[in-house]
Structure formats: structure tokens, C-alpha cells
Structure 1
Amino acid sequence: MADCGGSGAEEEPSPQEQEKIQEYEIVCTLGEGAFGKVVECIDQENDGARVALKIIKNIDRYREAALSEVEVLKHLNNLDAGRRYSCVHMLDWFDYHGHICIAFELLGLSTYDFLKENNFQPFPVKQIRHMAYQIIRGVKFLHKNKLTHTDLKPENILLIDSNYEMEYNREKRRDERTLKNPDVKIVDFGNATYDHEHHTSVVSTRHYRAPEVILDLGWDHSCDVWSIGCILIEYYLGTTLFQTHDSKEHLAMMERVLGPIPTNLLEKTKKRRYVHRNRLDWDVHSSAGRYVRKHCKPLKHYIVSRSEDHQLLFDLIENMMEYDPAKRLSLEQALRHPFFDCYYKNTSSRKSSSRGSSTRSSSRSSGGSK
């Protein structure tokens, strides 16, 4: 195995390590990151089955996260032996020459990579609903078992099979891909945190980070809900909603899309430099202010169709992106949202109660559709 970046001189691998690594014949690299790389392998001990092998750099912080991920994955494997929930399944793990190596079932592209290879064309709403239902069920399963993922993003949602049909769009003069199978699985549990464990102050990748994390108000399961809301709007638009690398600008973008941040949250924040007179300290007339106005607009202005499916998707997203985590939709409530009525046999009562804009607009204030 090629070295993935070590931390100085290392001992020669033991005979057991050598024997273990020889079970896996590397075929190609699937992806690389700061942590190391993921390679496709032939599992010689399992009739030549193809697997994904995640090889982590022998650097303390990555090794520690990898060992934590192994423990979480063991727990999830035991809890979901029937693979009913959309969390990636660990097949094996071992320590090779200081590198933690984790073998997984082989999956397709990440949803981010599929978007990228499709020129950032959005997913159809029907496929967004299918992916959303699986993601929400999977993360609800984590929450039920006292885990917060903390790093949900399109890169960490993998397609089970990324085969597609190609069709030429004459109007846009380009080929466009449509997934044949929108089934997905959640991956990367290196930062997953149990309820009883220490909660680091900053979690989540920037664009999917909840306001309570930016404001240093503490966080819980609901930060995952916000991240899922960001993922769903990205699937709908094809591009990231909050395209920024600055925390105050990020909050200003939220206000542009979702309205003012509640005063009670700004009063409690330890990040006083973000606040002036209990409002976000932001100059809409500055160059940064003009950038935010140009690149963001109120959430409902992003809807491209008046059809009920689109309206219900945005109602769901709006409730998942409630500023106050105490009022934010739980994933239990999200699964009962009218957007998912087609997944239930007896939907007539839900559908009758979901008609009309008054129901949709009231769901936010009541903390979600019941």
C-alpha cells in the first residue's frame, strides 16, 4: 500500500498487518482528502468482492477521528444489522503501519460529485423527495441512538449506484444526466458525537453550519436538521445556498434568505462582534452588503414552479431552517410532513389538512407539520 502521509519514521508492519493488507488488491483511487484517501479494492478473502477502503493518514488527529469512527460504525452495524437505515455499512477495519484502514460496501458517487459532473444541474423534485426521505430516516435513527452526525453535506451523502441516463437539452445545448436510482447512504462518521460526549464549539462544514454554532450558543441534534435543510435546497438549486467563508457574512446571508435573526439569540451570543444593539452588525450598503444582496434572495423567490410538490418541499426546508433550534422541526416531525405523504398508505387525512397556503405558512410558527 502506498503511504498516505505519515508522521515521521515508522516501524516495519508486522506479519499480521502484511497478511491483512494482502487481502485487498487496490484497483483505483476513488477520492482523496486531508484525512487520506479512499480506494476501490478487490477483497481476496470474499470471492473477489469490490469494496471501498478508507486509508487514514498516520497523523494523531486523523487517527483519533478514525478510531472514533470505527467505534461508531461498530455500534451502528449492531443496531442496524438488517441495513434498514441509510447509513454506510462497515465491513472490516485494521491498523496498517499506523494507518487506520476501514473497509466499506462499495457505493457510487457522492451527490456533490454527481451534481458537479452534471454541470450543477438540479435534481428533479421527485428524486429530491426520495433522497430526503432516506437521509431524514437515517439521521433520525442516529438521533434516536443519541448521536449527532455534525458534518452532513452533499459530499457525505453517497449514491448507492450513480448510473444515469443522458439526454441532450436543445434549449441549453448540453447533455444532462438523470439518475436511474436515487437511493443514498450517509457516510463519514469521524465527527459523530454522542449526547454524553464533549461537544466542541465548532462543528459542520461552513456552508451547512447552523446559526447556533456560528453564534456559539451550543448545539444538539437540531444542528443536523439545519444541515439537511441546506442540502435539500442545494439539490433543488444545483448550487450551495450560502456561498461564503466569513461567519458574519454567513449570518447576513441567512437574514437575506430567511429574515432577521431573532433578538433572543443575538442577546445570548458570546460573539459580541457580530451584534450591535441586539441586531446583526451588518452594513447593507458596503461592498460585502451588496455582494450578499446580489447572491442571495428570500427563500420563496427560489421556487421555480407553483406545483404542490415544489411548495411543500420549500415549506419543509423553511421549517428545517428555523433559526431557533428549540423551535426547529425535529426529524420525527419532518417524516410526517405532507411532502412525504406518498410514502404512507393512508394519506387522505394528511392531504386534506395540508391544502392551502394558510396551513403551510402556519407550520413554521407551530414548529412543523403535525
Structure 2
Amino acid sequence: CVCDTILTISCCIHLREYFSWNNHPCFVFKLYGPSIYAVMSKNQYHPFPDWMVRDLSLQICAAIQFLHQMDIIFTDLKPENIVFVDGRTQKVTIGNVELIYEQKKKKKQKVLDLPVNIRIKVVDFGSATYEPKYDPNNKASWKFRDGYNYLIQTRHYRAPEVVLEMYWKKPVDIWSLGCVILEFLQGSMAFGTHCPIDHLNQMQAMIGPLPSKLIHAASSQKRSEFFHSDTLQLKLEEAKPSRVQAKRLQTYFDFNKLEHIDLYDMIKRMLQWFAADRITAKEIMQHRYWLTSNPIHKQQQQLLLLAQQQLNMQAAFLPATTRLAAPVAQSSSTTVVMAPTLALAAMSQMQSFPHPQPVRPQDLPLKTHANVPLSSPLNNTNLHRVEFHGYNKVGF
């Protein structure tokens, strides 16, 4: 039915029942598992594997798009407010993981205790609000009206316009989303600070200098509190810097992985100084990252890379005139010098990928436990037993 479809694709918690007890309003929700933060804490904040980063991020993006389509701003997106639908866990061996967020790269194996089901729900709508419809040039018209105020979002996931007491709208959720995905990737908060000046300074370290136009648009109180009036530089002498400081955004990614190139591009578009420059939830769902990180696409890309390596090795033994005369085959992401080789058979299996269409959670291939047949209907009874592909993979 329509309600079951909404329950599946919205990735948001749904109210089951409401009642009053001793003048206290009570809400009844389905019992879910631990929060993502609890799972991260249990695993000593080890980065999630790439496949898990992808599947979690996709569901959260779907939830934000669902809310934004209804003009709802969540305003408090963070790992604590995202729960797994199932509390059961299993040991997963992560092999040869590159801890790319450290200064010195290390390779080691790690056993993580991860949920057997990585479907999630976004919870805690206590701070959610409808998008204000006020004139951004008339601050008196929107301050503290209809629940609108400056103080939203948990500090570490707070957008620049909120820190600077500016007019905010849906893009504040996009900023938080970028911080959350980056946290999945590196295992620690993108901006671990409680000082607003240090927070802005860490933003500068990650995404570049704070634009003067944004400083002038800040509230007069915050402008005088955070910046020198003559130079518009941050008052770093008054800051309380955290022990761990943010680094340039690109340092958190492994650009030897095609999906990391696209993930970097997607997060970079989320973490923009100006709200108007940020990618929208709808555009996120259409981003190429969901294609390049798809296991089927990755397998074919690995096949193409293997074929290219074999071709290059054999081409090295051909006469120079033959190498120069060899035809060139084009793919969407790689150029290969062709030569007579058995790798051509593997190359024939490659298919060109069209521009990705909008991706939804229900579009992904599903995998089930052995005791849940693939033909089982996706209803409320067995929904918690169906997972995204790859949830139980080992030896990554």
C-alpha cells in the first residue's frame, strides 16, 4: 500500500500512536536498534568500510530529500539521530584498510562489530521546522517568529550561516549531511570544537578562506565578536582551539579509488560557505557517486583495469610501429591502447554506463538472510530482515 511504500523510502521514523498520561504527551514508535553514534563508539570510532559509507549515506540523503520535498528542515542531523532498524550485530573483518585521515598511512586488519542490517531511520524531530517564508533582507520579520531562531543544529554539524546568525533555510541540513558522511569516512567528527571562532577557523582550514561578503552579511553582534573590525580576520587570540584540528578536505580521500573521487566532489558541493552554492538534496540523489560506488560498476571497472594492464604489458613487446598503429578504445573513464591479446575478451564484457538516473534506496540490489527467501514481500513483518547488498561481506 502507499503507507508501506512511504515507510520504506522515507527512511524517517513514523509515529505509531499518541496518548496523554498525567498531562504528559506520549508518542509511540517502533522499537529500533542503536544509533550510528553508538555503533561508532562501540568500534572505537574506526572508519566505516566504503560499502557501508555508501549505503548509509544513500538512505540519509533519501530522508533529507523526503523532508525537503515537504518544506521541512530537520535542523539537527547527526549520528545520534540516526538509528539502525535492528539491534543485532556481527563481527566483520576489515582487511588492509587505509586510515587515510591519519598523517601517516597504515595498513592493518580490524574486526568491527557491525549491525547485520544496515537499514536506518532518521529520528528525533523535536527541532524540525517548516521552512520560513520570510524576507531575508528584513531580519525583524523572521527573528523568533513561528519557532524561527538563530540557535539550531548541534555545534559540530552547524552551518556557517547559523554560526554567524544569518538567515537559514534547507541548506543547513546539507551542510550537516556533508559533516556526517565525512565522519563515517574518517571515524571522527569533521569539526570537533565547542568554540565558534575555532569552528570558523577549522572551516577555513578545510574548505578555504571565509569570504568577506559572508562576514559582512553576519549579524553585527557576531561580526564584532568573531572578527577584527579593520582586517575582518578572526580573533584567533580569543579562540579556544580543540586538540584535533580539521585539515584540507581532499586529505580525507583516497583518490586511487574512483568512488572516492566522486565522493569528494559530492561532499565538496555540500560544504560550501554560501548556502545558495550548496548542492540540493535532489541533486545529491542524482550524483555520479551512487553509480561509481555501486558494486556492479566497481567490478566492471576492475575488469577494465585488469584488461588495460594486460594490454599495456603485451603492447610493450610489440614493435614501435605496431604500437603507434594500434587503435584506441574509449570508455567513460579510461583510455586503453589496444593490442592483440586475450584481454580483449574481457573488454567485450564492459558496457557503457549512461548518465545516472536518480537513485532511491529501493532501487539498490537487496540481500537477505538465508531464512528469508528473496521472493518474500517487503512488508512490515520482515522488512527488518532485509538489507542492502554487502552488509555481511568480510575481508574488504
User: Which range, TM-score by smaller chain?
Assistant: 0.5 to 0.7
Q: How does 1:83-102 map to 2 (within 5 A)?
A: 83-102=8-27
Task: Look up the SS of the partner of 1:329 in the other structure.
Answer: coil
Residue among 54, 68, 71 paired with 1:129: 54
CA-CA distance at 1:133 after TM superposition: 1.1
| Structure 2 unaligned regions, length at least 5 | 96-106, 133-145, 302-329, 335-357, 359-396
Write the distance in 1 (CA, Å) between the matches of 2:215 and 2:276. 15
| Structure with greater strand percent | 1
Q: TM-score, normalised on structure 1?
A: 0.67
- The match for 2:281 is 331
Aligned pair partner of 1:184 in 113, 120, 128 = 120
The answer to whether the Cα contact below 8 Å between 1:267 and 1:278 also exists between their aligned partners in 2 is no
**Counterpart of 2:291?**
341
Query: 3-state DSSP class of the match of 2:276?
Result: coil
Alignment-derived partner of residue 279 in structure 1: 232
Change (3 A) 1:353 1:322: farther
Cα distance change, pair 337–115 in 1 and its aligned pair in 2 (3 A): same
Given that 2:33 and 2:83 are in contact with CA atoms closer than 8 Å, whether structure 1 keeps it comes out as yes
Deviates more, 1:168-177 or 1:110-119: 168-177
1:315 equivalent to 2:265? Answer yes
In the superposition, the TM-score normalised over structure 2's length comes to 0.63
CA deviation string 1:174-207 (max 9, x = no partner): 7422333221110011111012444211110111
- Describe the SS at the equivalent of 1:296: coil
Task: Give yes or no for contact 1:263–1:278 (8 Å, CA) kept in 2.
Answer: no
Within a 5 Å distance, the mapping from 1:206-221 to structure 2 comes to: 206-221=155-170
Report what 1:201 is aligned to: 150
In the aligned structure 2, how far is the partner of 1:147 from the partner of 1:173? 42
Shift in alpha-carbon separation, 1:95–1:257, aligned structure 2, 3 A: same
Distance in 1 (CA, whole Å) between partners of 2:332 and 2:153 is 33
1:251 aligns with 2:203: no
Say which one has the larger Rg.
Answer: 2
SS in 1 for 2:32: coil
> 1:1-370 maps to which residues of 2 (within 5 A)?
81-167=6-92, 175-196=111-132, 197-270=146-219, 271-272=222-223, 273-276=225-228, 277=230, 279-283=232-236, 291=241, 295-304=245-254, 306-341=256-291, 355=333
User: Contact between 1:165 and 1:180, CA under 8 Å: does it hold in 2?
Assistant: yes
Report the Cα distance in structure 2 between the residues aligned to 1:292 and 1:256, rounded to whole angstroms.
Answer: 13
Distance 1:259 1:341, change over 3 A: same
Task: Tell me which amino acid in the other structure corresponds to 1:178.
Answer: L
Q: Which has the higher contact order (CA 8 A, sep 6+)?
A: 2
| Mapped contact 2:262–2:292 kept (Cα < 8 A) | no
The CA RMSD measured in Å over matched residues stands at: 3.3
Task: Identify if the C-alpha distance between structure 1 residues 133 and 295 changes in structure 2 by more than 3 Å, giving closer, same or farther.
Answer: same
Counterpart residue identity of residue 215, structure 2? L
Q: Is the 8 A contact 2:76 2:154 kept in 1?
A: yes
Judge conservation of contact 1:252–1:292 (CA < 8 Å) in 2.
no
- Cα pair 1:90 1:104 within 8 Å, conserved: yes
Kept in 1: contact 2:75–2:128 (CA 8 A): yes
Work out whether residues 166 and 177 of structure 1, in 8 Å CA contact, stay in contact via their aligned partners in 2: yes
- Contact 1:156–1:187 at 8 Å: present in 2 too? yes
Aligned length: 276
Summarize the Cα distance change of 1:208–1:294 in structure 2 as closer, same or farther, 3 Å threshold. closer
What CA distance in whole angstroms lies between the structure 1 residues aligned with 2:126 and 2:111? 36
Secondary structure in structure 2 of the residue aligned to 1:95: strand
Give the whole-Å Cα distance in 2 for the aligned partners of 1:134 and 1:98. Answer: 36
What residue ranges of structure 1 are gaps of 5+ in the alignment? 1-76, 357-368
Whole-angstrom distance in 1 between the partners of 2:248 and 2:292: 28
The question of whether the paired residues in 2 share the 8 Å contact of 1:242 and 1:253 is answered with yes
1:279 is aligned with what amino acid? L
